[in-house]
Amino acid sequence: MKTTLKLSLLAIALTATSCFNKEKEPVKAEDITVSQEMVAELTSPPHVPTPIGRRKAKKLIVNMEILEQEGELTSGVRYNYWTFGGSVPGSFIRARVGDEIEFTLSNHPDNKLPHNIDLHAVTGPGGGAESSFVAPGHEKTFSFKTLNPGLFVYHCATAPVGMHIANGMYGLILVEPEGGLEPVDKEYYVMQGDFYTKGKNGERGLQPFDMQKAVDENADYVVFNGSVDGLTGDNAITAKVGETVRLFVGNGGPNLVSSFHVIGEIFDKVYVEGGDLINENIQTTLIPAGGAAIVEFRVDVPGSLVLVDHSIFRAFNKGALGILNVEGEEDKKIYSGEIREGIYLPEGPGIQNMPTTDEVVESEIPAKSFEEQMKFGKQIYMQNCFACHQSEGQGIPNAFPPLANSDYLNADVDRAISAVVNGLSGEITVNGEKYNSVMTRQMISSEEVANVLTYVYNSWGNSKKVVTKEMVDKVKGK
């Protein structure tokens, strides 16, 4: 009898031990109970809705309106955007794993075309596209369960799909894990897109979409948040020294991969492709068309940090540039700023002697005629001016002003001479466009200044002024 009792107690103990040691089965998202409903908070870029935190799964009501509307792609350039919620990118949607989303897509009656929505967070045919195809003046409702955490793109999938995306029909939906993301001080919504217009970059007026350029992947503009100034000026994002910043970064495409980088920062964390994999201490992260990433970093020094697609001509020539303005106290241990400026003598001070004055050696072969001024002036232009102002004086959009047909240049010859002799900085307006770059003083003689300006004034539709050495010396003497 005692033996039987011992065996029974041993069996109970083993059973209890096995129960305690057995790993708990993870709860599947599809099995999470939804007991209440709430209306989703939707925001326009660069803003994001309130973090989910530790709230329980709910029935989440999402109401989104499609609007076809004209907007400004860059200064003087208009474009007919097709939008989700009236912005490019579309409204940001924030949910959590296990939510049941009831999605109503409304196509405004003033629109011209049918549309739908494909959410990459959806498990189901077309990501919802098959259930949401809607004509102007109508609306469609469908529902889906959020099974996977991550940052997902959504876009229109109505044929021709590429055209609908290229006109601005894309956005992001964030599905937070159970318990939510770790809190940070600032969160922002940034999304890249490439645009294709009939006119070339900067050509004014209402520009229609160019299908052939899109097929050839020859983008006229590559921008953040729908326009060249979508993340600069009054639209720049902000933070304070010591704050942690989280950027939800998407790429609507339709064609180009983004090499996302913040000049002057290193990403502490990157949620690769918006998923669970986290990389640390990253300089630049690839974001495919139709993909996303979450980047996090702490700002340690004040200043203007520049967000770019590091396929760098896209940033400085096509618009993929944004600003994060950071305020606060400087920390010289982290970044000193300029300490000193010195003279660099690559061949040693015994071989080279830097001039002790600002005197410039005059040309040994003075021009004797207008034709020689043009010849010598062109040589000087190609040596000193070509890189910034280009071969036909067209300048570089958003960076260096044009010299061709330049109202700024033609209005004041003394001012033009002073810019070459003394340099020029600060904001100027040329042909209606604002520029705020730096032109360093040119270490060339008075005669060379006269020659190069005569060449510029007599080229590319300018006023045909002839600049003389005496005119340059007069400006130098002021």
427 carries an active-site annotation: no
Per the residue annotation, which of 64, 100, 156, 176 is the catalytic one?
156
138 carries an active-site annotation: no
Cβ count near 116 (within 10 Å)? 24
Is there a binding annotation on residue 19? no
385 carries an active-site annotation: no
Is there a binding annotation on residue 108? no
CB contact set of 322 (below 8 Å; sequence gap of 6+):
190, 224, 225, 230, 231, 232, 236, 237, 306, 307, 308
Beta bridge partners of 31: none
Per the residue annotation, which of 64, 163, 169, 439 is the catalytic one?
169
Per the residue annotation, which of 30, 182, 280, 407 is the catalytic one?
280
389 carries an active-site annotation: no
Torsion of CA 270, 272, 278, 281, to 10 degrees: -40
Is there a binding annotation on residue 388? no
Give the position of tokens 């922002």: 188
408, 421 Cβ separation under 8 angstroms = no
Is there a binding annotation on residue 310? yes
Is there a binding annotation on residue 164? yes
Is there a binding annotation on residue 169? yes
Please compute, for residue 461, the number of CA atoms within 13 A of its CA located in the half-sphere on the CB side.
9
Per the residue annotation, which of 74, 155, 187, 389 is the catalytic one?
155
Give the 3-state DSSP-derived string for 398-455, with helices as H, strands as E and coil as C: CCECCCCCCHHHHHCHHHHHHHHHHCEECCEEECCEEECCEECCCCCCHHHHHHHHHH
Is there a binding annotation on residue 389? no
47 carries an active-site annotation: no
104 carries an active-site annotation: no
Beta bridge partners of 170: 155
Per the residue annotation, which of 120, 309, 385, 389 is the catalytic one?
120
Per the residue annotation, which of 176, 194, 261, 448 is the catalytic one?
261
Q: Residue 156 and residue 90: Cα distance in Å, rounded?
A: 11
Q: Residue 295 and residue 292: Cα distance in Å, rounded?
A: 10
Give the position of tokens 């020029």: 424
Backbone phi, psi, residue 442, to 5°:
-95, 120
Per the residue annotation, which of 104, 244, 284, 468 is the catalytic one?
284
Per the residue annotation, which of 268, 310, 374, 473 is the catalytic one?
310
**Sheet of 93-96: strands edge to edge?**
93-96, 170-176, 150-155, 118-119
Give the residue ranges of the annotated binding site for Cu cation: 115, 120, 155-156, 164, 169, 310
Active site residues: 115, 118, 120, 155-156, 164, 169, 261, 280, 284, 310
Name the binding residues.
115, 120, 155-156, 164, 169, 310
